[in-house]
Amino acid sequence: MKLYRPEIDGLRAIAVLAVVLTHMNPAWLPGGFVGVDVFFVISGFLITGIIYQQISNKKFSIRDFYVRRLRRILPVYFLVVAATLLVGYFLLTPTDLLALLDSIRYSIFFAVNIYFSREKGYFDISSEEKPLLHLWSLSVEEQFYVIWPVLLLLLWGLSLWVSTRLTRLTRLTRLHPKPALGTAPLQHYLLLASVGVITIALLVVSQYMASSDNHSIKGYYLLQARGVELLIGAVTRLIPLHKLRHASAWSLLGLAMLVLSFFWLDQHSIFPGFNAMLPCIGTAIILYSTDRQDITTSGTIKWLLSRPVIVWTGLLSYSIYLWHWPILAYMRYVYGQNTLPGSWLLTAFVATFALSVLSYKIVEQPFRKLAFTFPKAVLYNYILPGTLIISASIVFQKLYIPHAMPEEALTGYGDDVCHGNFTKQCIRGDRAVPPTLLMTGDSHAAHYNTFIDVIGAQENWSSSVITASSCSPVFNYDEKVLPGWAQEPCASLKSYFESNYKKFDGVLFASSWAYQLGLLSDPSSSAPKDYDIAYLQKLEATLRKISKTTPIYVFSDVPLLKRHPFRLLQLEKLGIHLAGNIDNRYSEANKIIKSLVKKIPNVEWVDTSEFFSALDTPGTLDGKAIYSDTHHLNIYGGQKLGEWYLNHSLKLHHLSRSLPTSVATEPR
């Protein structure tokens, strides 16, 4: 039986602290997420060692193997899932709770990595608020635990069969049946070679998935891309233990590779694939080189990793990993931003360790000591808690969510609108009269549909509203900077706008000015720009050309919120009142566009700011959300804005005939 190696728990401590630090603030440790890969290598190393030793001694039992896994993993796992569900029931909006319930059901069957692989990337802003996102790695490990014992048994049998026939064929001298220091039977080398071939094949698969546009998200989450990391641990364990010269220097090299990966890699790196080899091979070197070191003499790294406080942190690492992410996700959900203040992060750190100590003492350790038969282990550790959690999720979805879901008028700006196509309801306002105006732009023009309905119906005019996501159809706009799905609709909108604007008596133009000007992009990012860098100049040229023949109204953009208004209303129900919900980048963009508009004759600035500044709570009116998210008016919001304009005598009438310069377009 292999003696306990405290340095492995020390290595776990480094891994989990790296993960926690990068999740608290990526700027602190850009590549700290590779701590998960360290865990994978350690898991592959330890599990393979256990299985291989028992197979060699003809004592391996799949039932006993899974009993240990069930006792080790599931009690705290289900505790965290249940606690996350309970908090989410009170804290989350119905829509967000529905998404949590979906992820919970997948997590019960250890398939949550598959669930998240179908969504956005691991580093997307919305990902920071998904309370169970981190369980993808546990799903990968459990899937590995299902496959690997069976596969290792098959490879063991195959290597035995091949080695027996090779030995007979070549009349080799019979070797010792068990590996010893410096020696190993032919069967062992054949097993090692077969596992090595599979590892190399999975590395190729991992690199392909990580670097392919179609598979990069899946490559982060799925077993076929992560299996190489677990098998690196397996190969390390299967390499015979030779007497290693300069073992301390090797372990120092392994630690240096690991630390380098913490700072060299970041969220923009192609990962996992080849880049994952730096931390994985570094971890493997540490595991192999410290196995033969004397902790009191040459084993410097082994001595360091075996310090009591580091080992203690490593013992808590599983609970720390499980608790830290839901705490941070819910804090970000409340705060409304990914970058939390120092006081919040300190609270999260303390809460994580406090809950980890409690769960380790009260749940982890007691369950490990319980003697279960296989049926009882499955029943008490998996079936009962899993059934209870799934039942609770069904009750919440059937009884609570249908009654709490917001009405359709609050969840979007309409499904029947001409947004990205020309086949739906394009005429807004008084639909009994032909459209004499054209409203165009990106989705921040589309959300004015019901605004135009209210005013046009009152003043007996109508407008065509034709828009496309992310696309502000100024002349020569570079739609290639947009996501692939948005490029063709944008090109169509540009072509339509340039060919048809003269057919209308006036043009209404609106866009997300902050987005189009690049104010919402990360200036420090090395990624390609996702906006047209010459947008302002192109907008000016477009306005000047159109205004020579056709009057133009340019709408100010609506305030950009830091928190979803549905979320804000939910928090207020809990007595949580948060100030500072406006992101002022929208205001900066409005000033730039307004300054441009004022310089061009026959172009008017439609300022909506007074309506929004009069709201007691940003994004809400009369206890209802007027936004469908953090930057789009919903159907209800567009209606209320239109009614406000009419009540304040800010008329857009006569647009069907002409656009006099005396029309009042700014709040009085």
* 566-584 tens-digit pLDDT: 888 888 888 888 877 899 9
Percent of the chain that is helix, strand, coil (3-state, to 5):
60, 5, 30
Residue 409, pLDDT score: 82
Amino acid identity, residue 361?
Answer: K
Tell me the average pLDDT across 187-197: 93
Q: Do 291 and 5 form a contact (C-beta atoms < 8 A)? A: yes
Is pLDDT of 180 > 60?
Answer: no
Q: Domain limits of the chain? A: 6-404, 410-647
Neighbours of 161 (CB within 10 A): 12
Strands 624-625 and 620-621: antiparallel
pLDDT-wise least confident of 206-210, 214-218, 350-354: 214-218
Residue 217, pLDDT score: 74
Q: Which long-range contacts (CB under 8 A, 24 or more apart) does 173-178 make?
A: 178/56
Question: Percent of the chain having pLDDT more than 90?
Answer: 68
Tell me the average pLDDT across 534-542: 96
Average pLDDT, the chain: 88
Q: What is the pLDDT of residues 297-353, one digit of tens each?
A: 457 888 899 999 999 999 999 999 999 999 999 999 998 888 899 999 999 999 999
Q: What is the pLDDT of residues 398-455, one digit of tens each?
A: 888 777 777 778 888 888 899 988 888 899 999 999 999 999 999 999 999 999 999 9
Q: Is the pLDDT higher at 409 or at 122?
A: 409
State the DSSP string of 199-248. Answer: HHHHHHHHHHHHH-TTTHHHHHH-HHHHHHHHHHHHHHHHS--PPPTTHH
**CATH architecture for the domain at 410-647:** 3-Layer(aba) Sandwich (3.40)
Neighbours of 500 (CB within 10 A): 13
Q: Return all residues near 35 (Cβ < 8 A) that are at least 6 apart.
A: 14, 15, 16, 17, 18, 19, 22
Is pLDDT of 227 > 60?
Answer: yes
Q: What is the pLDDT of residues 543-561, one digit of tens each?
A: 999 999 999 999 999 999 9
Q: What is the pLDDT of residues 474-523, one digit of tens each?
A: 999 999 999 999 999 999 999 999 999 999 999 999 999 999 999 998 77
Residue 140, pLDDT score: 97
Q: What is the pLDDT of residues 269-282, one digit of tens each?
A: 999 999 999 999 99
Instruction: Let me know if 267 is exposed, middle or buried by CB neighbors in 10 A (0-12, 13-18, 19+).
Output: middle
Task: Quickly state the pLDDT bin for 526 (edges 50, 70, 90).
Answer: low
Tell me the average pLDDT across 634-655: 78
